[in-house]
Amino acid sequence: QTNVREEVSVSLVFAKGKLAPKQATTIPRLELCAAVLATQAVERTIKELKSLTIDEVVFYTDSKVILGYIQNESRRFYVYVDNRIQIIRKVSEPSQWRYIETTDNPADLATRCTSANVLIESCWFEGPKFLSDVTATLDNNEKSMLCEDDPEVRPQVAIHITGMPQKIQL
Q: Show contacts of 41-46: CB within 8 Å, 24+ apart.
A: 41/14, 41/15, 41/16, 42/91, 42/92, 43/91, 44/14, 45/13, 45/14
The string of DSSP letters for 39-60 reads HHHHHHHHHHTTTS------EE
Share of the chain above pLDDT 70, in %: 89
pLDDT at 138: 59
pLDDT at 63: 92
* Sign of the torsion formed by the C-alpha atoms of 65, 66, 68 and 74: positive
| SS3 sequence of 57-126 | CCEEECCHHHHHHHHCCCCCECHHHHHHHHHHHHHCCHHHEEECCHHHCHHHHHHCCCCHHHHHHCCCCC
pLDDT at 2: 63
Confidence at 41, pLDDT banded by 50, 70, 90: very high
Domains of the chain: 1-169 (3.30.420)
**Rounded alpha-carbon distances, angstroms, from residue 104 to 60, 84, 125:** 10, 25, 13
132-167 pLDDT tens trace: 876 666 565 566 677 777 777 777 677 878 777 777
Report the run of H or E that residue 32 belongs to, with start and end: helix 27-48
Pairing of strands 59-61, 2-4: unpaired
